[in-house]
């Protein structure tokens, strides 16, 4: 039964967040009134995920992320960001936060984001022994445009990083989010050429365990049904390199990289995926037609491998 710890110095916001998480009856939701109490509770209850406000007295969200990453690197943290705090949110993401939700969009995104982060954290530890002595691996995938393939591939890459000992838990979660966002973009925006509103709805349906009618229809007709998403993954102890390519028409990438690095994009409903990718990966680039993205993370830490019985 997953434990979610909510940290916020505002009682009103704590009640709001708790109310949004209530539909998940199998979740245990605990609360802390500030960052200091929250950090203490992380060590006491070992939550599966933390949802924290960014701006708090004494120990703010950035400090909380940094200290939690050092002491409890396995615990993912989701930021709740207010308008005007985007630059601080970027710092917190770089300090180890897993994801973020703008306070203005809690109703739309909070539940889905918590579910996404929880799913990324539920690794099968029994697989870790398979590649403990591996120094590097390469994989290539040609995926049908099928949203059901996204989560298994993301989990496979994350588990492989953990098994080989590439990066720490925060690195592995950041790669997982970046890969997941790039696959969603490649399938919905690239191969299926969905408009922005349709793509948002398709994503929401996917997180709810369904599939939108427009996605189903396009997957049945040409040219969409023949298209594939090609993924190349190169993992070693120095870096993680991932290339995702779709067979759509692409787009004009001019200005996208610059905008993705702007803190103001954290409060935008458009470009959330690219913003996360650019903040989590050390290098990102598009090909000329922008139907291919290359993402690279330089590994600075060593994964703590679980003890082998």
Give the model confidence (pLDDT) of 178-214 as tens digits: 999 999 999 999 999 999 899 999 999 998 899 999 9
Q: What is the average pLDDT value for the chain, to the nearest integer?
A: 86
Q: How far apart are CA 239 and CA 298, in angstroms?
A: 4
d(CA 60, CA 198) in angstroms, rounded, equals: 37
> Is the per-residue pLDDT at 22 higher than 60?
yes
pLDDT given at position 30: 96
Residue 52 has pLDDT above 80, yes or no: yes
Kindly tell me if the per-residue pLDDT of 277 is higher than 50: yes
The pLDDT tens digits for 217-275 are: 999 999 999 999 999 999 998 999 999 999 998 876 665 555 555 555 555 555 678 88
Q: Confirm whether 3-121 and 125-298 share one CATH topology.
A: no
With cut-offs at 50, 70 and 90, classify the pLDDT of residue 126. Answer: very low
Question: Is the distance from CB of 147 to CB of 153 less than 8 angstroms?
Answer: no
What is the pLDDT at residue 122? 59
Q: Report the run of H or E that residue 285 belongs to, with start and end.
A: strand 283-286
pLDDT reading at 14 higher than 80: yes
Q: What is the pLDDT of residues 285-303, one digit of tens each?
A: 999 888 999 999 999 865 5
pLDDT at 124 over 70: no
CATH architecture of 3-121: 3-Layer(aba) Sandwich (3.40)
- Domain 125-298 is found in CATH 3.30.565.10: yes
The pLDDT of residue 128: 44
| 43, 46, 50, 52: CA torsion to nearest 10 | -20
Task: Give me the pLDDT at residue 289, please.
Answer: 86
Overall average pLDDT of the 157-171 stretch? 89
So what's the pLDDT on residue 193?
Answer: 95
User: At 123, which helix (H) or strand (E)?
Assistant: none
CA proximity to 248, closest of 295, 211, 182, 194? 194
Mean pLDDT of 140-148: 96
114 has a pLDDT exceeding 80: yes
Mean pLDDT value of segment 159-174: 89
Average pLDDT over every residue of 104-120:
88
pTM attached to this predicted model: 0.63
Domain ranges of the chain: 3-121, 125-298
Q: How confident is the model at residue 163 (pLDDT cuts 50, 70, 90)?
A: confident
Q: Higher pLDDT residue, 160 or 306?
A: 160
Half-sphere exposure (Cβ direction) of 24: Cα atoms closer than 13 Å: 19
* Radius of gyration of the chain measured on its C-alpha atoms: 19
Report percent pLDDT > 90 for the chain.
Answer: 55
For the stretch 58-95, pLDDT in tens is 898 889 998 998 888 888 999 998 776 777 778 888 88
Q: Where are the alpha helices (DSSP H) in the chain?
A: 11-21, 35-45, 61-71, 86-95, 106-121, 150-164, 169-184, 196-207, 213-218, 256-260, 272-280
Report percent pLDDT > 70 for the chain.
86
pLDDT at 49: 93
Please tell me the predicted confidence (pLDDT) of residue 58.
83
- What is the β-pairing status of strands 28-32 and 3-7? parallel
């Amino acid at each position: 039964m997953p434990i979610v710890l909510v940290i916020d110095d505002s009682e009103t916001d704590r009640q709001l967040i708790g109310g949004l998480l209530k539909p998940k009856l199998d979740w245990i939701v605990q609360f802390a009134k500030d960052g200091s109490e929250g950090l203490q509770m992380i060590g006491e209850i070992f939550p599966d995920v933390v949802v924290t406000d960014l701006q708090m007295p004494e120990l703010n969200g950035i400090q909380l992320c940094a200290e939690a990453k050092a002491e409890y690197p396995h615990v993912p943290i989701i930021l709740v960001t207010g308008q005007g705090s985007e630059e601080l949110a970027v710092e917190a993401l770089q300090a180890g936060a897993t994801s973020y939700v703008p306070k203005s969009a809690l109703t739309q995104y909070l539940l889905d984001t918590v579910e996404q982060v929880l799913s990324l954290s539920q690794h099968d530890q029994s697989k870790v022994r398979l590649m403990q002595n591996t120094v590097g691996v390469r994989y290539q995938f040609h995926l049908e445009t099928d949203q059901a393939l996204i989560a298994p591939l993301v989990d496979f890459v994350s588990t492989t990083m953990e098994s080989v000992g590439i990066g720490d838990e925060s690195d592995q979660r950041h790669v997982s989010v970046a890969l997941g966002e790039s696959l969603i973009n490649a399938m919905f925006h690239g191969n299926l050429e969905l408009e922005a509103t349709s793509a948002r709805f398709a994503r929401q349906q996917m997180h709810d365990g369904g599939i939108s009618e427009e996605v189903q229809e396009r997957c049945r007709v040409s040219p969409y049904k023949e298209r594939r998403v090609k993924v190349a993954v190169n993992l070693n102890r120095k870096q993680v390199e991932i290339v995702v390519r779709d067979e759509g028409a692409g787009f004009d990438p001019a200005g996208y990289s610059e905008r993705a690095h702007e803190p103001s994009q954290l409060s935008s409903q458009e470009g959330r995926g690219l913003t996360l990718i650019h903040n989590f990966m050390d290098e990102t680039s598009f090909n000329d037609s922008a139907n291919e993205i290359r993402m690279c993370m330089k590994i600075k830490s060593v994964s703590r491998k679980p003890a082998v019985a």
